[in-house]
Amino acid sequence: MAKLVEKGILAGLGVLTLTRDTVRRFVDDLVAEGEVKPEEAPSIIERLVDKGEKEREELRKMVRQELDKARSNVPVITRKDIEELSRKIDELAAKVEELAAQSEPTEAE
C-alpha cells in the first residue's frame, strides 16, 4: 500500500502541475524561443491539458481501486463477535481458576 501511495503522490504531483496556465506559460516560452510556431500553440496546449486530465482521472481510478481492495480485506467485527469472544474469555478464566485451585496444596498435606 505504501508503494501505491508513493506512486500516487508522485504521479499526482506531476499531473497537478499541468494546469492550463502552467501549460500555456510553458508553450508561450517555447514559442518565444522559436521551438513552436505561434499557430501551433493552442492545439499543443489543448493536447497537454487533455492528457493531464486523463492522467488525473486514471490516478483517481487507481486510488479508488486500491482503497476498495484495502476495505475488502478488513474484516467487519460485529457486536455478536465481541460477545462471543467475551464469553470464551470468561470460560477460559474459569478453567484457569479451577486448575489453579486443583494444584494448590491442601492443608492435610
What does the block give as the cell for 92? 477460559
Q: pLDDT class for 43, splitting at 50, 70, 90?
A: very high
| CB 44 within 8 Å of CB 26 | no
pLDDT value at 2 more than 70: no
Question: Domain coordinates of the chain in residue numbers?
Answer: 2-76
pTM above 0.75, yes or no: no
Average pLDDT, rounded, for the chain:
80
Q: Cell numbers 484457569 label which residue?
A: 96
Who wins on pLDDT, 71 or 83? 83
| CB 11 within 8 Å of CB 18 | no
pLDDT value at 36 more than 90: no
Q: What is the structure's pLDDT at 72?
A: 79
